[in-house]
Amino acid sequence: MTLSKCPGMSCQIFFFAVVISQSEEMRTLSLSGHVGFDSLPDQLVSKSVCQGFSFNILCVGETGIGKSTLMNTLFNTTFENEEASHFQNGVHLRPRTYSLQESNVDLQLTIVDTVGFGDQVNKEESYKPIVDYIDAQFENFLEEELKIKRSLYNYHDSRIHICLYFIAPTGHSLKSLDLVTMKKLDSKVNIIPIIAKADTISKSELQKFKIKIMSELVSNGVQIYQFPTDDEAVAEINSSMNAHLPFAVIGSSEEVQIGNKMVRARQYPWGVVQVENESHCDFVKLREMLIRVNMLDLREQTHARHYELYRRCKLEEMGFKDTDPDSEPFSLQETYVAKRREFIGELQLKEEQMRQMFVNKVKETEAELKEKERELHERFEMLKRSHQEEKRNLEEKRRDLEEEMNTFNRRKVAAETLQSLQAFSLLPFFPFQPLRLQSVPISGSHRL
């Protein structure tokens, strides 16, 4: 009997071969000639360059602390910017996306500004719009991943890769708003704290301020981004830069002539502060660590750490899990069916509750309508009785008035008759001669 005529035996032999292959260790072989798969990194680089890159920066800080100026200085350009007032009702996030090109590399840069942060009297919930915005970007990416027809290749990734938290150069300690906000954001985004406008504080005070900031972050359990040291190529520089956190930076888009060259600097009556002079500020360190050395790691940390944490929590809320309590593989289909059945059961229960609630509400409404109808009927009967009573009173008054009018008319007729009779009985039998009165003069002898 051949294997082609016995599918069951072929399946058993295939399964046995798979088990043997899985149990054996991976063997390393040497090539006797050039094959060509060493060009994979070049293919990957070519594909990545063709596709382009995206990088999203979240700038958190008070109004007027220099966020926009630092962004213009970092990327050596001038971004569109609208000056924000200090009279915002709340915190609003304003994202702006730009297309940048350097050599043959395209970068889609998104800068998100926190407008109105720290301007309110009650700053208790100033961090909530920022947290909601970061979660919304994670939710959009998760929805795209869960689609049947996904387009992640050309999907605009709006997840925040780095949060530059601007600290006011007070020289004392962090504000409560800074600690609360960074504590709420450290599990959702990579945070790099920076001291803005570092030229307003002396070097000795600046060093003490840095130590104070780091001690407060550690004591409050705030996890900031640490530059990776697992790669030998950048381990040394990253480990040294971790000791310089937080960076004290200065931003300026103005060019000042120093000797024979033009440099970006801030000019004061007492001197010039150069932006790219490492003895003046840490701007060059920030640019090196953020853009030239660790930009890819920031993108990977966002996806592998922060987004995966959000995705795991979201799927656990939906009822999905990798293993059951017995540590056995859990079927996604079974989970979906069980969750769907549970959801349908909850939906039916809520529907029944709503139906019962609707029936009770209808009964209550009917009872109220009946009570209103009874009250209206009683009121109608009362008004009807009152109307009948008034009608009877009016009828009685009308009859009384008619009797009085009849009595008055009879008396009037009797009086007229009596008057006519009296006038007829007093008439003489001779013609009536009206008396004429003549005036008689009175003489003096007749006076009294």
pLDDT digits (tens, 9 = 90+) for 206-237: 999 999 999 999 999 999 999 999 888 889 99
- List beta partners, residue 94: 113
- List beta partners, residue 209: none
CA distance 317 to 310: 11
pTM: 0.69
Phi, psi of 365 (to 5 degrees): -65, -40
> Would residue 50 be called left, alpha or beta, if left means φ above 0 and alpha means ψ between -120 and 50 degrees?
alpha
pLDDT of amino acid 3: 39
Split at pLDDT 50, 70, 90, the class of 308 is very high
| Residue 432 clears pLDDT 90, i.e. is over it | no
| Residue 321 clears pLDDT 90, i.e. is over it | no
CA distance 348 to 341: 10
More confident residue, 192 or 448: 192
Any idea which of 13-27, 44-58, 322-336 has the lowest mean pLDDT?
A: 13-27
User: With DSSP H G I counted as helix, E B as strand and the rest as coil, what are the percentages for the chain, rounded to 5?
Assistant: 50, 15, 35
pLDDT of amino acid 89: 79
Split at pLDDT 50, 70, 90, the class of 8 is very low
pLDDT of amino acid 287: 93
pLDDT of amino acid 327: 54
- List beta partners, residue 113: 59, 94
| Residue 446 clears pLDDT 50, i.e. is over it | no
pLDDT of amino acid 233: 87
pLDDT of amino acid 85: 67
In percent, the amount of the chain with pLDDT more than 70 equals: 86
Any idea which of 58-67, 81-90, 334-343 has the lowest mean pLDDT?
A: 81-90
Split at pLDDT 50, 70, 90, the class of 331 is low
CA distance 317 to 240: 41
Any idea which of 127-131, 136-140, 255-259, 439-443 has the lowest mean pLDDT?
A: 439-443
pLDDT of amino acid 428: 56
Number of other residues whose CB lies within 10 A of the CB of residue 18: 10
SS (H, E, C) 360-377: HHHHHHHHHHHHHHHHHH
* Mean pLDDT on 47-58: 91
* Mean pLDDT on 268-287: 90
Maximum mean pLDDT: which of 290-294, 335-339, 427-431: 290-294
| Residue 5 clears pLDDT 50, i.e. is over it | no
Split at pLDDT 50, 70, 90, the class of 23 is very low
| Residue 374 clears pLDDT 80, i.e. is over it | yes
End-to-end Cα distance, the chain: 187
Alpha helices (H) along 231-331: 235-242, 283-287, 295-301, 308-317
3-state secondary structure of 116: coil
More confident residue, 24 or 402: 402
Split at pLDDT 50, 70, 90, the class of 378 is very high
Q: How many CA atoms lie within 13 A of 82 on its CB side?
A: 11
Split at pLDDT 50, 70, 90, the class of 12 is very low
Q: What is the mean pLDDT of the chain?
A: 84
| Residue 324 clears pLDDT 80, i.e. is over it | no
pLDDT of amino acid 28: 86
> Using one digit for the tens of pLDDT, what is the confidence trace for 152-207?
778 889 999 999 999 999 888 899 999 999 999 999 999 999 999 998 898 899 99
More confident residue, 361 or 334: 361
* Mean pLDDT on 351-377: 92
> Using one digit for the tens of pLDDT, what is the confidence trace for 385-414?
999 999 999 999 999 999 999 999 999 898
| Cis peptide bond N-terminal to 246, omega within 30 | yes
In percent, the amount of the chain with pLDDT more than 90 equals: 50
Q: How far is CA 348 from the centre of its chain?
A: 32
